Amino acid sequence: MDSIWFKLLGVVVSFIVAFTVGMTYMGLSRKITARVQNRKGPPFYQNFIDAMKLGSKTSAIHHGVMQHFGPAFLMVSSVMSLMIIPVLNNGMWFSNLNFHGDLIFLLYIMVFGPLGMALGAGQTGNPNSAIGVTRGLSQMVGFEIPWVMALVALMIQYHTTSIVDLMNIQVESGTWLIFSSPFAFIAAVLAMLGMFRYSPFDIVGAPTELASGPMSENGGKYLFTMMSSASVFAFAKLTLYVDLFLGGASNLIELLIKTFVIYMIPVLYGVVSPRYRTEQSIRYFWGWPTFFGLLAILYAVFF
Amino acid sequence: MVGTPVLFVAIPLLAAFLIPLFGMIWKESVRVIPGIVLAYLLVLAINLMNYVMVNGPIVEVIAGWAPPLGINLVFSAFSGFLVTLMVFLGLIVWMYSYRFKRNVDFEPAKKYFLLLMMLITGSVGMVLTGDIFNLFVFIEITSISAYALTAFYTGRDSAEASFKYLMLGSLASAFLLIAIMIIYSQLGTLNMADIGSKMHLMKPAYKIMAIIFLFTALGIEAEIFPLNGWAPDAYAEAPGPVGAAFAGIVVKAAIYASIRIIYTLFDLSGAYDLLIVIGMITLIVAETAAIRQEKLKRMLAYSSIGQMGLVMVAFGMGTEEGVFAALFLMFNHAIIKSLLFLSGSYLVYNSKDKLIKEVNGIGKFLPITSFLFVLGSFAIVGLPPFAGFWSKLSVLTAAADSNMLLIIALVLIVSIIEVVYYMRVVNRIYFFKKDESVSTQRPTLNALIAMITLGAIVLIVGFYPDAVTGFLHRASADLMDKAGYINDVLTLN
Amino acid sequence: MINDKNSQKIVDFIQNWARKHSIWVLAYGTGCGAIEIPPTMTSRYDAERLGVRGAATPRQADVLLITGYLTTKTLKRVIRVYEQMQDPKYVIGFGSCTINGGMYYDSYNTIKVLDKYLPVDVYINGCMPRPEAVLSGFAKLQELIAQGKANGAQKYKDNLDWYRENQKKIIPNWVMPEYNW
Amino acid sequence: METIFLIFILFLGGAIVTWMAGKLGNIVQDILFLATILVPSYLFYTNVATGYAIDFNVGGIELSWGINAFGWLFSLIVLGLGAFAAFYAVSFMKGKERRGAFYLNFILSIMAMLGILMSQDLISFFIFWEIMTWSSYIMVVYNGNDVQRIGIKYFVFSAIGAYAMLMAIVLIKSMTGSFMIESLISSYTSFSYDMQILIPVLLLTGFGVKAAIMPLHVWAPGAYSNAPMAYTSIFSGSLSKMGIYGMVIVFTTMLSYVPEGVWFRGVVAWLGGFTAVFGTLWAIKQDDAKKLLAYSSVAQLGYIIVGVAIGTPLAMMAGLFLAVMHAIFKGTLFMVVGAIERQTGTSNFTEVTGLIRKMPWTFVAALMSIIALAGIPPLGGFVGKWMLYESLITSDHYLLVIVIFFSSTAAFLYCYKFLFGFFLGQEEEEWAHVKEAPALMVVPMVILAGLTFLLGTYPGIILKPIANGMQTLGYGMTQGQLWDTSIILNEWGNQVVLQPILYAILGIFVFFVIFVTIKGYKNTRYVTTKDISSSGEVPLAHENLTFSQGFFQPFLRAVEPAMRRQIDKYYTAIANGLESLFDFTRRIYTGNGQTYAIFVIVFVVILLIFKNSIFG
Amino acid sequence: MEDTLFKILDYGVYGTAVLVILIGLYGALVKRSLLKIVIGLSIIDSGINLLLVAIGYLKGGTAPIFSPGYLDNPKIMVDPIPQALVLTAIVIGFGVTAVALALVIRLYRHHGTLHIDEIRNLKW
Write down the mean pLDDT value for chain D: 83
**pLDDT above 90: percentage of residues in chain A:** 0
- B361-to-A154, A283, B185, D106, D262 alpha-carbon distances in Å: 63, 51, 61, 22, 51
Q: Does C181 have pLDDT greater than 60?
A: no
Give the pLDDT confidence score for residue D483 in this predicted structure.
Answer: 47
Least CB–CB distance from D593: residue in B163, B288, B433: B163
| Residues in E 30-89 with any Cβ partner in D closer than 8 A | 32, 37
| Tens of pLDDT, residues D168-195 | 888 888 888 888 888 888 888 888 888 8
| Tens of pLDDT, residues D407-423 | 888 888 888 888 888 88
| Interchain proximity E124–D601, CB inside 8 Å | no
Q: In what order do the strands lie in the sheet with C52-54?
A: C52-54, C23-28, C63-67, C90-94, C122-124
Angle formed by the axes of helices D99-118 and D122-140, nearest 10°: 160
pTM of the model: 0.90
Give the number of other Cβ atoms within 10 Å of residue B264's Cβ. 23
| Tens of pLDDT, residues B281-325 | 999 888 888 888 888 888 888 898 898 899 888 888 888 888 889
Q: Which of the other chains make 3 or more beta carbon contacts under 8 angstroms with chain A?
A: C, D
What's the total number of domains in chain A?
A: 1
Q: Of how many residues is chain B composed?
A: 493
Specify whether domain E2-118 bears CATH 1.10.287.3510: yes
Question: Residue D323's closest CA among D376, D383, D367?
Answer: D383
Answer with the residue of higher pLDDT: C154 or B64. Answer: C154
Give the pLDDT confidence score for residue A80 in this predicted structure.
Answer: 81
Residue B75 forms beta bridges with which residues? B58
Return the DSSP state at D63. Answer: E
Measured CA to CA, the distance from residue D232 to residue D220 in angstroms comes to 11
Measured CA to CA, the distance from residue D548 to residue D348 in angstroms comes to 10
Measured CA to CA, the distance from residue C15 to residue C146 in angstroms comes to 9
Least CB–CB distance from A40: residue in C24, C49, C53: C49
Q: Does D493 have pLDDT greater than 60?
A: no
Q: How much is the average pLDDT of B406-422?
A: 88
Indicate the domain borders of chain B.
6-490
**Residue E19 neighbours by CB under 8 Å, 6+ apart:** E47
- C147-to-C10, C15, C20, C65, C134 alpha-carbon distances in Å: 13, 11, 10, 21, 20
Report how far apart the first and last C-alpha atoms of chain E are (Å, whole number).
Answer: 59
Q: Does B139 have pLDDT greater than 80?
A: yes
Measured CA to CA, the distance from residue A85 to residue A78 in angstroms comes to 11
Give the number of other Cβ atoms within 10 Å of residue C14's Cβ. 12
Least CB–CB distance from D538: residue in C58, C59, C80: C80
Q: Which residue of E has its CA nearest to B70?
A: E81
Q: Does D535 have pLDDT greater than 60?
A: yes
Q: Rounded to an integer, what is the distance from CA D287 to the centroid of its chain?
A: 20
Any idea of the CA torsion for D136, D138, D144, D148, to the nearest 10 degrees? 90
Q: D420: distance to nearest CA of chain C, Å?
A: 22
Give the pLDDT confidence score for residue B102 in this predicted structure.
Answer: 59
| Tens of pLDDT, residues C18-64 | 888 888 888 777 777 778 888 888 888 888 888 888 888 888 888 88
Question: Residue D579's closest CA among D210, D148, D145?
Answer: D148
Q: How much is the average pLDDT of D462-480?
A: 73
**pLDDT above 70: percentage of residues in chain C:** 96
Give the pLDDT confidence score for residue A237 in this predicted structure.
Answer: 86
Query: For residue A133, what are the domain limits?
Result: 4-302
Q: Does B189 have pLDDT greater than 70?
A: yes
| Interchain proximity C42–A39, CB inside 8 Å | yes
Question: What's the per-residue H, E or C state across D147-194?
Answer: HHHHHHHHHHHHHHHHHHHHHHHHHHHHHHCCCEHHHHHHHHHHCCHH
Which residues in D lie closer than 8 A to residue E32 (C-beta atoms)?
594
C181 burial (CB, 10 Å; 0-12 / 13-18 / 19+) is exposed
| Interchain proximity A283–D558, CB inside 8 Å | yes
Answer with the residue of higher pLDDT: A89 or D473. Answer: D473
Indicate the domain borders of chain E.
2-118
| Interchain proximity B178–E51, CB inside 8 Å | yes
Give the pLDDT confidence score for residue E65 in this predicted structure.
Answer: 64
Least CB–CB distance from E99: residue in B147, B156, B178: B147
Q: Does D464 have pLDDT greater than 50?
A: yes
Q: Give kind and range of the element (H or E) at residue C164.
A: helix C160-170
Q: What is the pLDDT along chain E (124 residues), one digit of tens a residue?
A: 667 776 777 777 788 888 888 898 888 888 888 888 889 988 988 888 888 887 777 666 666 666 665 566 666 667 777 888 888 888 888 888 998 998 888 888 888 888 888 888 777 7
Give the pLDDT confidence score for residue D484 in this predicted structure.
Answer: 45
Per 3-state DSSP, what percentage of chain C is helix, strand, and coil (rounded to 5)? 50, 15, 35
Write down the mean pLDDT value for chain C: 82
Give the pLDDT confidence score for residue B1 in this predicted structure.
Answer: 53
Contact A237, A195 (CB under 8 A): yes
Q: Does C180 have pLDDT greater than 60?
A: no
* Structural domains in chain C, sorted by start: 20-133+140-170 (3.40.50.12280)
Contact D408, D318 (CB under 8 A): no
With an 8 Å CB cutoff and a minimum of 3 pairs, decide whether chains B and D touch. Answer: yes
Q: Which residue of B has its CA nearest to D592?
A: B164
Q: Rounded to an integer, what is the distance from CA D232 to the centroid of its chain?
A: 9
| Interchain proximity D594–E29, CB inside 8 Å | yes
| Interchain proximity D591–E28, CB inside 8 Å | no
Q: Does C180 touch chain D (CB under 8 A)?
A: yes
Q: Does B241 have pLDDT greater than 60?
A: yes
**Residue D570 neighbours by CB under 8 Å, 6+ apart:** none
Phi, psi values for residue D66, rounded to 5° = -175, 180
Give the pLDDT confidence score for residue B66 in this predicted structure.
Answer: 67
Whether ipTM tops 0.90, in short, is no
- D497-to-A104, B203, D457 alpha-carbon distances in Å: 14, 89, 9
Give the pLDDT confidence score for residue D486 in this predicted structure.
Answer: 39
Q: D549: distance to nearest CA of chain C, Å?
A: 24
Measured CA to CA, the distance from residue D578 to residue B302 in angstroms comes to 17
| Tens of pLDDT, residues D50-96 | 777 888 887 778 888 888 888 888 888 888 888 888 888 888 888 88
Q: Which residue of B has its CA nearest to D138?
A: B427
**Residue E76 neighbours by CB under 8 Å, 6+ apart:** E58, E60, E61, E62, E69, E70
- A86-to-D144, D390, D503 alpha-carbon distances in Å: 58, 21, 19
| Tens of pLDDT, residues D597-612 | 888 888 888 888 888 7
| Interchain proximity D582–B291, CB inside 8 Å | yes
Write down the mean pLDDT value for chain B: 85
Which three-class secondary structure state does DSSP give residue C28? strand
Q: Name the band, by pLDDT with cuts 50, 70 and 90, for residue B456.
A: very high
Single-letter amino acid, residue B92: I
- E119-to-D342, D419, D588, E113 alpha-carbon distances in Å: 56, 65, 17, 8
Return the DSSP state at A215. Answer: G
Q: Which of the other chains make 3 or more beta carbon contacts under 8 angstroms with chain D?
A: A, B, C, E
Q: Which residues of chain A have pLDDT under 50?
A: 1
